[in-house]
Every structure is written in C-alpha cells, then in structure tokens.
Amino acid sequence: MKYISTRGQTDPVSFSEAVAIGLAPDGGLYLPEALPDLGEEMKGWEGLTYEETCLSFLKHFATDVDCGALAELVDESYRGFAVEDRAPVRQLDENLWVLELFHGPTLAFKDFALQLLGNLYAHQIQRTGRPLNVLVATSGDTGAAAIQGLLGKKGVNIFILYPNGKIAPLQERQMTCTGADNVFPLAIEGNFDDAQLALKETFSDQDFKREVNLSAVNSINLARLLAQCVYYIFSYWQLPEGVRDLAKFVVPTGNFGNVLSGWMAQKAGLPLKSFRVATNQNDILHRLFSTGIYRAHQVTASLAPSMDIQVASNFERFLFYFLGGNGDKVRSVMSSIRKSGVYFFEGFDTDTLSSSRTDDHDIRKIICAVFERYGYVIDPHTACGFTQMDDEHPQLILSTAHPAKFPDTLAECTGNEPTHPSLEVLKSKPETKFEVPAQADAIKTFIREHV
C-alpha cells in the first residue's frame, strides 16, 4: 500500500515514510492511494480482542512493517490501558450507548493513536539509527498523549506547542510535570490556531526539517487516523446485533481526526450507518455541515478546550474524497479558503454526516442531566455529544476524555470533584515550561538550541 498527498504534487510513499514525514512536502496530508474493501473480511472480526482487531486492520495499511514486529508494537501500545477490553461500550438507555475511550495513560482518546505512533517511531529509529525530533501543536490532550507515547524512548526529543493559559490546568500539568529531559513544553502566545499555524510554517522549511529530522505527531499524522479506525470496528462488534447497522456514531469533534477515522472505516467496508459531528461553541464544522458554508470565526475558549478549534486540519482529507480524489481541486479550494476565509460547498451527504453544536451553558446542563438521569459522569467534551437526543433511534456516543481531567466543571455540575490517581500525583510535581512567541523562527531557534 502506497500513500499519496491530498494536494497531488508529491510521489507516493510507503507507510513508514508517510508516518515519519507527517505533512507531505507539497503541504498536503497523506492518504492511502486506495481504500481496500475489507467488508467481507471484517465479518470475521466479531469476538476478536482489541489488539487482534487492530492487527487485522493495520496489516492492510502498514505493509512495509514486518507482521511479527507490528503485532508486538500493537500489544505494547495497549498494554498500559486500565481495562482489558481497551474501549468498553456501556449501555445507558434502551437506545443509548457510550464508547469509553479514556482508559489510556493520559485519560483521553488520543492515547489510542499516540501510544501506537510512539512505538512506530521507536521501531523506525531502531531500524535507521537516526534520532528524531517530534514537533506537536496541541489544544490540550494531544501533547500529553504524545509525551506518554514517546516517554523513555531512545533517540527522540519532543517539542510541544500549546496556547499559554488556554488549556485546562491538569492538562498542562500532564505535559509540564513529566520530569523527562527529552520533553520540551513550549507555551506560546495566542490560541491553538496560532500554534498550529506556527507549526505548519516550521514544517514548511524543508532544510530545517532535514537538518533536525523533524516529524509531526499532530492529528495530521497518517498513523493516528488509521489507529483510530480500530475502535469503530471494535465497538461495532460490541453493540447488540440488531443495533450495529442502525446506530449513529456521535463524535465530539475539533480537528476532525476522530470522526474522519470512523468515516474512513465505513468507506473501507464497515457497515456503519451514520455519524454526527458534535462541536462545541467553536462551531465551524457544524455550520459547514448544516449550511455548506465554510467560514472561520474567532476561536473562543470553552469548557471543552480540546475542541476549541476553527481551522480543522483533517478537513482537507475529507475534502480530497469529496472532490473525487482530485489534488488540483483540493489545492484550489484550500488556496481560496486561505485567501478569502470562506467557501461555499454543495452536495454533502448529510444523511451520513450530520452535525450539532453545544455551547458552555448547555455543556453544564447536560453534565447535570446525564448524572441525574443515569448516575453517569461525563466530561465536558463528551457532553457535546449528548444533544439531539433521540429515544427512537440507537446512538453510540464516543466519550473522549475522563471526567477527572476537568474537576472544576464537574464539581460545579455534580457537586463532586472526580479524581484519578494518575492525575493526583501530578499536583505535587515541579513544572517545566518555556515561553516562546508563536513564530516559526523562534521555534526553530529553540529546537536548534536544545537538540
């Protein structure tokens, strides 16, 4: 299997190359040159463990990684999860299920992808003997998950850009209190979009990239997308038989990586019915899917900070498929969006991909209501999924973070501050962070000085 860029101006590369490169040299994102039809094969995956499902799926994509090595990487990646089935499905009501994706080391769904990515990197460094520097932009959870994925791995430094003062305190501590000497948290001025822009600019300097062997762990990395397909497949089989093909998968969304993985699993033959893109008050994707108009607004800080995003980087991958796989068209639409900040789309299949919006006021109400009705505690990101409730039709809501990551909001809503042992220990550890302007030059200088 080869991987091509959404912008169509680079030669196809192998899986390992695409993972190592991150952003394609033409500025596009990597995608499989063709999605295999695994529909028939997936019918045999009922009852497999999470790891078995993962390996069965990934071996079609990671075709240049030795199968035995891949099996080991997969096992290693999910060993640190707190529950045996890794991604448990819980039924809350007759037509309502929750997929708990927060049992990994940093208590957010990003562990599913970043544990695997960390091991893929380590495997590659071992093979090539070339040290790697990883640059990440995060609105909160990616940074922590990337660190946990790479902690203690030889030959990797990790630089994390995050908006200073705009992420939850415990999320920040997960990044700044690791005590690891290969981890550099860079607190930048501005919001997440500023961080992402600075990251893109840094990556666009090809000479610098080569000089320090730079790679991205962002939601743009191909391996993340593929790793996330697995829990859609796994949870499909955990739903009752009569429900599987009818359930709507509801996905709290920011950068559009999570829901895109589900959508790609569907395109690869998993018979999922539909998805709902659940945004918070930063609702560009909700406005897009409900009106066809793509128009970025200012980002406002919300109670669900990992979704405080207006420019969803993975949208470009969706666009590639939507535009019939035509890289020229993708380039032209992206450049038009860059110039004017707006684009009018027609013909989205909103039966398959619908959307919703939940503001802070409703997030609070929902957390209270779900707790009162089901005695079940959800975090503010997951709360964005619990809207447009529909008793008649089955829904499976992806729960993307553990509520203990957001103790203040939870205490306000339920009267109880949820805790988790892995977060408690952070509170007494010293913090290390570096304040840097959101400019590529400043970031490059910092990296050069620290490798």
Ligand X SMILES: *Cc1c(COP(=O)(O)O)cnc(C)c1O
Residues lying near ligand X in the complex (CB under 6 A) are found at: 108, 110, 141, 219, 252-258, 306-307, 381, 400-401
Q: 5-13 long-range CB contacts below 8 Å, 24 or more apart?
A: 5/29, 5/30, 5/31, 5/327, 6/30, 6/31, 6/316, 6/317, 6/319, 6/320, 6/327, 6/330, 7/327, 7/330, 7/331, 7/334, 8/326, 8/327, 8/328, 8/330, 8/331, 9/327, 9/331
Could you say which of 2, 43, 110, 154 is catalytic?
A: 110
Residue (of 392, 437, 419) closest to 164 by Cα position? 437
Q: Rounded CA gap, 290 and 205, in Å?
A: 37
Do 204 and 234 form a contact (C-beta atoms < 8 A)?
no
Cβ–Cβ contacts within 10 Å for residue 203, how many? Answer: 22
Shortest approach of ligand X to residue 279 CB, angstroms? 9
110 flagged as catalytic:
yes
Which CB, 70 or 111, lies closer to ligand X?
A: 111
- Residue 230 parent element (H or E): helix 222-238
Nearer residue to ligand X within complex by CB, 157 or 255: 255
Check: CB of residue 251 under 8 Å from CB of residue 259: yes
Q: Under a CB-based contact definition with an 8 Å cutoff, are residues 342 and 295 in contact?
A: yes
Q: Smaller CB distance to ligand X: residue 182 or 282?
A: 282
CB 117 within 8 A of CB 141: no
- Which of 81, 244 has the CB closer to ligand X? 81
Q: How far is the CB of 277 from ligand X (least distance, A)?
A: 8
Nearest CB to ligand X, comparing residues 219 and 302? 219
Least distance in angstroms from the C-beta of 372 to ligand X: 23
- Which residues are designated catalytic? 110
